[in-house]
Structure 1
Amino acid sequence: MDNTIVAALLGLLEGLTEFIPVSSTGHVLLAGYFLGFESPGRAFEVLIQLGAIMAILGVYAKRLWHLFSSAPHNPASRRFILAVLLAFLPAAVIGVLAHEIIKTVFFETPALIAWMLVIGGIVILIVDRKAPTPRVTEVEQISLPMAVGIGFIQCLAMIPGTSRSGATIVGAMLMGVGKRAAAEFSFFLSMPTMAGAFVYDLFQNRDILDGQAIGNIVIGFICAFIMAVIVVKWLLGYVSRHGYALFGWWRIIVGSVVLLALAAGM
């Protein structure tokens, strides 16, 4: 299949899966593996996340403007911004320290990704049903200690297949955060986390990205942006009504199919 078409399909897949707890990177890596897609330094899989970043910034532009414009005179706004930054710090530090093993080992092991999809799916099904009664129902109410805890849990997502949004949502729910508020905090935390990953990965791969690789990234970015806008607008309403069980089953089915395909030598 033509690389341009594959890049577009992977971009759509990135946008579809970035903000739901199924692991966008895991899905893109597995799809690329079976489609025979190669990217220099595995930069494509990280850099197309810029599309998802721009989507969340666009959808939340009004709210972000209010948050930052009110921060100088509103302690609640300042505290929430600090909570997001504190939650971001563990991933920033550990991501830099573990960058090489993430890219050269975790990204190159389809069986590990598939197993993490299955295990994470089981965890989501259990937590969705058994999570403690929420004590926090609005995202701005998340405390600084909660934010730090969610930040450390997010680091589990450095293993593809775990899911950044899945880890943060499950972690938040276990700490007593409601389902909608957990998803919203995951959205806010995605902004510095994914932007940081984008900048760092672009810097690391600046010398090996040729014209074709950049063209594929641009195509993937555009497709990811369009799909992510649709998903973000839909997701909060869905999880408020139905929870996360659908995504748990999604992960288990996809992971199991991949494991069977790998066992069959595909």
Structure 2
Amino acid sequence: MNALILVIILAIVEGITEFLPVSSTGHMILVNKLIGGEYLSPTFTNSFLIIIQLGAILSVVVYFWKDLTPFVGTKKKFVLRFRLWLKIVVGVLPAMVIGLFLDDIIDKYFMDNVTTIAITLIVYGIIFIVIEVIYKIKNVKARVRNFSNLKYSTAFLIGFFQCLAMIPGTSRSGATIIGALLLGLSRPLAAEFSFYLAIPTMFGATALKLLKNGLVFTEREWAYLALGSAIAFVVAYVVIKWFMDFIKKRSFASFGLYRIILGIIVLVLLR
């Protein structure tokens, strides 16, 4: 094991888990704890685990480009696209404000706390299963199935759910999807809006980390960031397609079960 291999492994883990409701940051922290050793400095690792997520998020831009690009043929389509981006901006406002104030606190108390990760994995795993059971028993029907029917106020509320993911182990996509489902969005729309919210959110998080730590990175560490982001991009692009096909046919209960099992294993290993 050396630093380069660790970077590649962490990037693959990020690409696989970024859009699944299982917590990419939590998984990378656990993997780094398991095999990381002292190959990367703590300061660089803290930034690396956030910044390479931007590589995965850029795969959303490529994958959904035809649905996100403002370069459309008619005025009507442009207005619809403008409204979609406005809803994305409204949805990301809570994370921008709260994240700016809590970033240092989260770094200090939660980013390296394996117990917290295990507990959040289990808690949100249970929540996923409970929601799916209730939806099945009550035969809940989604009220919002397209972005035209998504209200700005609903987008703003979903943004607050995204803030829960500031605690590692929660899952940004998981918290956002849960919030969207509770607010009446269909599963595919909830997942897609979660992906869209990630674009400005991770650009902001990356900028914040670079402003705080970027000047102290070495040339080799910049190379690690570039390599990790590229790998995360490729892997995440493949996962997006699989995940969008998955949620059209199945529920999120399996992810909830996985989270619970992993969380229990981590807690047992801590004893």
Judged with a 3 Å threshold, the aligned counterparts in structure 2 of structure 1 residues 32 and 70 are, in CA distance, closer, same or farther, namely farther
Structure 2 residue corresponding to 1:220, chosen from 228, 241, 246: 228
Matched, 1:111 2:119: no
**TM-score between both structures, scaled by the size of structure 1:** 0.93
Correspondent of 1:168 among 168, 176, 193: 176
Is residue 84–residue 147 contact of structure 1 (8 Å, CA) maintained in 2? yes
Please give the secondary structure, in 1, of the residue aligned with 2:185.
Answer: coil
- CA–CA separation in structure 2 for the residues paired with 1:116 and 1:207: 33
Unmatched 5+ stretches in structure 1: none
Pairing of 1:1-266 with structure 2 (within 5 A): 1-37=1-37, 38-41=40-43, 42-65=46-69, 67=70, 69=72, 73=76, 74-131=78-135, 132-263=140-271
Of 163-172 and 120-129, more deviation after overlay is shown by 120-129
Q: What's the secondary structure of 2:111's corresponding residue?
A: helix
How far off its partner does 1:240 sit? 1.1
- Determine if contact 1:72/1:78 at 8 Å carries over to the other structure: no
1:230 CA drift (Å): 0.4
Q: Aligned with 1:32: secondary structure? A: helix
Output one character per residue of 1:164-207: Cα deviation in whole Å (capped at 9) or x when no partner.
Answer: 00011000000111111100110111111111111111111112
- The one-letter amino acid paired with 2:15 is G
Q: Is the 8 A contact 1:40 1:209 kept in 2?
A: no
- State the 1:140 CA deviation: 3.9
Decide whether aligned partners of structure 1 residues 8 and 90 sit closer, same or farther in structure 2, where only a CA change above 3 A counts. Answer: same
Among the aligned pairs, what percent are the same residue? 39
For residues 80-120 of structure 1, what are the alpha-carbon distances to aligned partners after superposition, in whole Å with 9 as ceiling and x for unaligned?
Answer: 22111011000001111001011121102111011101111
Which ranges of structure 2 fall in alignment gaps of 5 or more residues?
Answer: none
Cα-to-partner distance string for 1:103-155 (whole Å, 9 max, x where unaligned): 12110211101110111111111112324421111244221111011001110
Q: CA deviation at 1:60?
A: 1.2
> How many positions carry a matched residue from both structures?
262
Alpha carbons 2:47, 2:213 under 8 Å: kept:
yes
Q: TM-score, normalised by structure 2?
A: 0.92
Counterpart Cα distance in 1 of 2:33 and 2:225: 17
Alpha-carbon distance in structure 2 between the residues aligned to 1:224 and 1:242: 25
- Following the alignment from structure 1 to structure 2, what is the Cα–Cα distance between the partners of residues 174 and 139? 16
* Structure 1 vs Structure 2 CA RMSD: 1.6
Q: Which moved more, 1:74-83 or 1:12-21?
A: 74-83
- Shift of the 226–71 alpha-carbon distance from structure 1 to 2, 3 Å rule, reads same
- Kept in 1, the 8 Å contact 2:6–2:36? The answer is no
In structure 2, give the amino acid aligned to 1:53.
I
- Runs of 4 or more, structure 1, over 4 Å off, are 70-74
Asked whether the equivalents of residues 71 and 78 of structure 1 are also in contact (C-alpha less than 8 Å), the reply is no
After superposition, the C-alpha distances for 1:222-247 in whole angstroms (9 at most, x for unaligned) are: 22111100001111110110111121
Cα distance in structure 1, aligned partners of 2:147 and 2:195: 10
User: Do the aligned residues in 1 keep the contact of 2:18 with 2:173 (CA within 8 Å)?
Assistant: yes
Q: Once the 2 structures are TM-superposed, how far is the Cα of residue 213 of structure 1 from its aligned partner?
A: 2.2
